[in-house]
Structure 1
């Protein structure tokens, strides 16, 4: 016999759509009234982005503090492997001074990788923690790269660095001349300028959208897998465990690959700023 409490809980249980919509909501300062609203701040994205940045800097700092000239341990070996990989990639793309660019690429790779790794945490973990703290059913997302604002913000930062190196390497006059003269000559100046502006905008948007799209899809799939146990009974629980484990293993590749792609495209765009047309 079902108790009234259990029946009441079942009656008020969220539907699949409500469950997913709730987990895709953000902890914000105000309600978003339009698709582009610069007054809205997603506190969860800001918090986790900064926290992963601090952890990334701490891990790299710890790696330098524990570095020895002898046989490296596992931790030092892992840090050295990442640093050498980034250095090799920057050396093959950037033909010039890399004293700032290589550390920048390393920071981008580690930061994006750590933010992506948050997707491995159980989807209902923080919802349960917030309920236990008496905060009710708050909206709270923990994957900054699955929020379009995060990847687009980073891609705008990459754009700022690219513009800086365009001015540093070519000078103001050289860069402005390139905007109007490349690629079809100065007689096609208006068309060249429009084409170059479109290229800058397209590269910036695609850089952020690529990372966001992959991480958002991964987060959504984890939510769908979490629903198996509730919707399909005992068989759903088994399917949830099997599917969740399989997707988590495959997702390791996605998390690492997306961090690598974001880092590589950052280097490619900065490298293009060093080239003259």
Structure 2
């Protein structure tokens, strides 16, 4: 921690964002979130593209072994949870898992290093972990939300999806009761669909933001405690980082499978 900063100033500094526009405004942009999200997406693309170009049916290298392990892991989860026939589900699940994992794992980089380097070019605030920003997690979750409806419309059509909104979760055999339950079904079904992306976004954001906050508190603790606390928390956080990427991917697969099922 900088010696000229109070603990409150240090926490505010590390949990603040590099903002373009008026801070707190709806139209402001968190430049650091955008920058690291795109950068890590590019890293994901570059590594997998390089592995694909060098892939061999003979003895694979370390990179090919690693990529094949990740792909097999994602593929097994798709086979277990997805019951439709859309061939895009595998690439979608792989992209979400690896991208979210990369956006999570950068928080294990030396905590003060990149903000300190950014200060030399006039950047006062820099949060390098995109998933500790609700804007990023909501953005990814919104993409999943749109895919849920795209999958549903493709398989069941507008009429099929519309019928689900009017007849579920409460079905009825009587024509009169079907009409009476329409507004109730419409309300609960709409609420169910809206909750899906919010639950995805808030779960990921909450875990990552809490981790950032604890790292910040460790950084302002006495120097002789920082290494022990930091190492222990980093090892535990590594488990959480992988788990949260897996949960986001697994729920996405389940939601997309549900979107194609006829109820």
**Cα drift, residue 71 of structure 1:** 2.6
2:138·2:201 contact (CA, 8 Å) conserved in 1? yes
Q: Distance in 1 between matches of 2:119 and 2:90?
A: 43
What residue number does 1:241 align with? Answer: 227
What residue number does 2:15 align with? Answer: 24
What residue number does 1:3 align with? Answer: none
2:183 pairs with 1:190: yes
**Cα drift, residue 80 of structure 1:** 0.5
What residue number does 1:92 align with? Answer: 80
Unaligned runs of 5+ in 2: 172-177
Report matched runs for 1:96-175 at 5 Å: 96-133=84-121, 135=122, 138-175=124-161
1:94·1:274 contact (CA, 8 Å) conserved in 2? no
Unaligned runs of 5+ in 1: 1-8, 229-235
Query: Once superposed, what is the RMSD of the aligned Cα atoms?
Result: 1.4
CA gap 1:174/1:98 in 2 versus in 1, 3 angstroms: closer
Q: Distance in 2 between matches of 1:214 and 1:130?
A: 26
What residue number does 2:45 align with? Answer: 57
Aligned pairs, number: 255
**Cα drift, residue 76 of structure 1:** 1.1
Higher relative contact order (CA 8 A, sep 6+): 2
**Cα drift, residue 238 of structure 1:** 2.3
**Cα drift, residue 98 of structure 1:** 3.6
**Cα drift, residue 154 of structure 1:** 0.5
The two structures have a TM-score, normalised by structure 1, of: 0.88
Q: Distance in 2 between matches of 1:45 and 1:259?
A: 17
**Cα drift, residue 152 of structure 1:** 0.5
Q: Distance in 2 between matches of 1:54 and 1:42?
A: 19
2:61 pairs with 1:68: no
